[in-house]
Each structure stands twice: as structure tokens, then as C-alpha cells.
Structure 1
Amino acid sequence: MFQIILLCTVLGNILARPLSNNRQVAASLTEAPDTVVTDEQVGAWVEVIKTMRDTSLSKEKRAEKISQLLAGNWNAPPEYVKNLVEASDYEWRLVNNASSKVKEVYNKSYDLKSDPKLYKMDPDKRIAEGEKLLNSLSEAEKKELAEIREKSVKKVAELRRQG
């Protein structure tokens, strides 16, 4: 169960099923885990988000650091964390090949997720932030975003089957 919760929250953009409802898509752009409630947990969570994107570290170093960050509040098997990093890297490769506007929205989404203030916001305010991001995209860009999400979901499913 923990693994599902962790994947859903860390990689909300990856795991969120392609949804037709813009409000649900907007919510996934600023998704926050329900289990992050204390300031210590918020701090650890923000560090996990930042570490996922820190390409100055090798995959192994990022997985090691994430495991350490999760150890105090949540426990995740090493193989699971390794797959988490792999899925995140895959998502960012897709994003880096996307149009500039889609890239910008993904970056802003993760900037929000790496800001401790997000986790103290009312859920409706978080969704409103996601809606602002989503509404900045054209219909073609929203479709591109959905395609990235679909490919990412497939990658996560593949990684889960492998281990």
C-alpha cells in the first residue's frame, strides 16, 4: 500500500491516469500527499522532490539519498526507490523533448511541489494553482501533456512488472 501512495504522490504527473476533467488534471499538477502533515515530513518530502530532479547526482546517489530521506517517516525498499528514480528520469526525458510551453508547465509544477508552502495550502487552493498552469496551455499543448502522462504511466507499469 505504501508503494502505491508514494508513487501517486511523488510522481503524480506520471501516475495520474489521463483524465478528461481539467480540474482533476490541474489537481495532479499540484498534488500533495495526505501523509505529509508535520513540518519534519514536509521538509523531508520537499527534499525528495528536489532530489528526484537533481541530475548532478547519479541515479544510485539519488536513490540512496531518497531512501535516507524516506527512512525517518516512511519506509521504502531500495529496489522500489531505484524504480522511482528511473520513472522520474524517464518522465523528464519526455518533458525535455516536449514543446517549450509544456516544459515550462512541468517545471512550474515541480517548483510548486518543492515549495513547503504548497503542503500548507487548502486543497482547493492547490487545485487552483494547478488550474492556472493548465489554463496556460493551448488545446494542442494539453494533448501533448496527456501523451507524456500516458507514456509515463506505461513506463511505471513496466517497472512495476519488472520488480
Structure 2
Amino acid sequence: MRLLIILALTILNLSFAMSEKQDKTVIKVESKPQIKEEEEKIENVKFYTERSTYKKGENVCFVLENNSNNEILLPSTAPYAIFEKEKPEVAIFSPVAAQIIVVLKPKEKKQWCWNQKDIEGKEVSSGNYIVRITIFDKSGKKYFLKSEFSIKL
């Protein structure tokens, strides 16, 4: 009887030890460097705000001029976003727009205006901002053009 108890305890102890054994495989996770979207120049194309400083409540207007001999493609009817200069990783406003390709022909220009409200419809505070637009050339290469401006009381 004693032998059976010792044998049962040994088997139980052995099975318990085996169930606690964990796989010690180490998985190394390498973090990829973040890719920063760089502003690229596209010859004879200008993107700018009409002024560098706006008063609170004024419409902030910006213009895309195609002074080149090539068509420019816009991915929507309003392909811009507004960012705080100090936090350029998250847009504070990006308009809802028809997702259709808009062609900007040579020597044409297009203008948009923003009412200084964020995505929730709240007026933004005074500070420094960036408006960024996304455009494509005929080959499909993507460009990000930006312009900086300030909002003051």
C-alpha cells in the first residue's frame, strides 16, 4: 500500500513538473523606424495660404497653382488636412469630400477655405498650424505639399 502511495505521488509530482515546464522560445521583435512623409518639390507647382496670419474666426484660404505644363491629379474634391505645427502626426481637421479624381490642368489653380473648426466642429485655439495637400503627377507619384500659418486673437 505504501508503495502504491509513493508511486502515485511520484507520478503526480512528475506530471505537475511537466505541466509547469514552459517553452522558453524567445521571439525578438524589431521595431521598424517610422517613415516620415517628406514634402517633395514638384516643379512649377505652388501651394500656399493667402496670408501667413489669420484672426480668430476668419476663413483660412489656401491655393494650389499648377504653373507646369502637366496635369496634376487630386485624390478628392478637398485633398487637404490641417495639423497643429507642434503635433503634426494627427490631423485636427480633414474635410469629408467626394472621393473622385480631380484633374488640375496646366495653368489652372484651385482654392479651398477652412473655418478654423476641428473635426468635432469646435473652434481651434490660437497657434501655429500646417495645411497639407496630397497630389499626384500623371505617373502616379504622390506628393505632399504644405504651407504654415498662424491664428492670432
Q: Which interval holds the TM-score relative to the shorter structure?
A: under 0.3
**TM-score (norm. length: structure 2):** 0.27
Structure with greater proportional strand content: 2
Structure with greater proportional helix content: 1
Report which structure shows greater RCO (CA 8 Å, sep ≥6): 1
